[in-house]
């Protein structure tokens, strides 16, 4: 599919997954209200600015789950991190937890630079 340049379609699907995940998250956890949707969109935009991050687009579901987790880490105050967001995202999406952790690490490194130790 990458040969045919379907990355744009994958991003649209990731957006739909992300939007639905955030709605579900806000419905089950009060802390979900603290996740900033604009920050999620900003993360998606930042990922598109470098070609090496396009490998993240191979699974729109994993990408959406990872963006939600990254946005949670970035926008929710640390003292409010009582909700087990990673296990919930794994449950809600059936994505592999290790894949989500790896993608979140890549997202955070991309945003905050190579000096970040994840």
**pLDDT tens digits for range 28-40:** 989 889 998 999 9
- Give the burial class of 13: count Cβ atoms within 10 A of its Cβ; 0-12 exposed, 13-18 middle, 19 or more buried: middle
Are 68 and 46 in contact by the 8 Å Cβ rule? The answer is no
Please give the average per-residue pLDDT across 97-104, as a whole number. Answer: 91
pLDDT in tens, 38-48: 999 999 888 87
């Amino acid at each position: 599919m990458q040969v045919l340049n379907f990355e744009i379609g994958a991003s649209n699907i990731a957006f739909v997954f992300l939007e639905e995940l955030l709605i579900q998250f806000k419905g089950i956890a009060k802390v979900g209200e603290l996740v900033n949707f604009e920050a999620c969109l900003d993360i998606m935009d930042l990922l598109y600015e470098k070609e090496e991050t396009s490998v993240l687009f191979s699974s729109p579901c994993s990408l959406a789950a990872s963006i939600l987790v990254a946005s949670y880490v970035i926008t929710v105050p640390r003292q409010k991190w009582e909700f087990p967001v990673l296990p919930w995202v794994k449950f809600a999406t059936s994505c592999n937890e290790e894949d989500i952790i790896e993608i979140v690490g890549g997202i955070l490194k991309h945003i905050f630079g190579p000096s970040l130790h994840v």
